[in-house]
Amino acid sequence: MLHTSRAPADAPKRVAAAPKPTAGELFGKSINLSGRRRFTSQRVVLYAVLAAQGREGALATSRDALATFSDAHRTLLAGEMAPATLGGELQQAYFGPERADDRIAAFIDLARRALDAIAANAFSAPTLLEELVEAATPLLATLNRLTQIYEDLARQQASMAKKQLTAVMGDIEMIAKHARIVSFNAQVVAARAGTSGREFAVVSGEFTQITGKLDGLVREAVRGAVA
């Protein structure tokens, strides 16, 4: 009797690993997060001012914006999007003389203290709110600078990828050219062989069609790469 083995019912299922994001995808995500950081920084300050004026729901909105801002900043500093991974210019902007990371961390701390003071109706609330409003403009300049770096690096990466693709397509085109020569020579040999070369001629003809299709694909890919 033929027995088939069965996996236990409680055996863990293998989950396919998520495909690693491309450099283009990483830069796209980093630009998106950097833009989100810019927007939410202003939202934090605007709704903090409205909360101090007693606007209903403004305090919660400001806290939510601050959480989104902080999350975006943490994501941009970790893993595959870390400044050291994406480019030296980012590393310098965050941790070099510009000290963008310190400026952002200081803003987050100041915003938290201001919102807590507003919530408690503390004596320090007006002073902290004023400091927060004053910090918004220089922070926005820092965030704009970071976003510009992400966008510049993305353009550089796209240009490099395009050049690499064009070079690869050039190599493939050269291989296709040699394949055409081989195919032509094979047809000549098959013709000289007469009846005994018929099968060889059929194979050679198929090879010619394949190389023709390859030529078309190469031209298409090159046009797409340089468009």
Residue in 91, 221, 85, 92 with CA at minimum distance from that of residue 157 = 85
Domain 23-162, CATH among 1.10.3470, 2.60.40, 1.20.1050, 1.20.120: 1.20.120
What is the model's pLDDT at position 10? Answer: 56
pLDDT tens for each residue of 96-115: 998 999 999 999 999 999 99
Residues of the chain with pLDDT under 70: 1-19, 21, 159-227
Q: Side chain identity at 206, as an amino acid letter?
A: E
pLDDT tens for each residue of 154-174: 888 776 656 655 555 555 666
Rounded Cα distance, 79 and 104, in Å? 19
Rounded Cα distance, 35 and 40, in Å? 9
Rounded Cα distance, 111 and 49, in Å? 11
Rounded Cα distance, 103 and 94, in Å? 9
What is the model's pLDDT at position 28? Answer: 85
Q: Where are the domains of the chain?
A: 23-162, 163-226
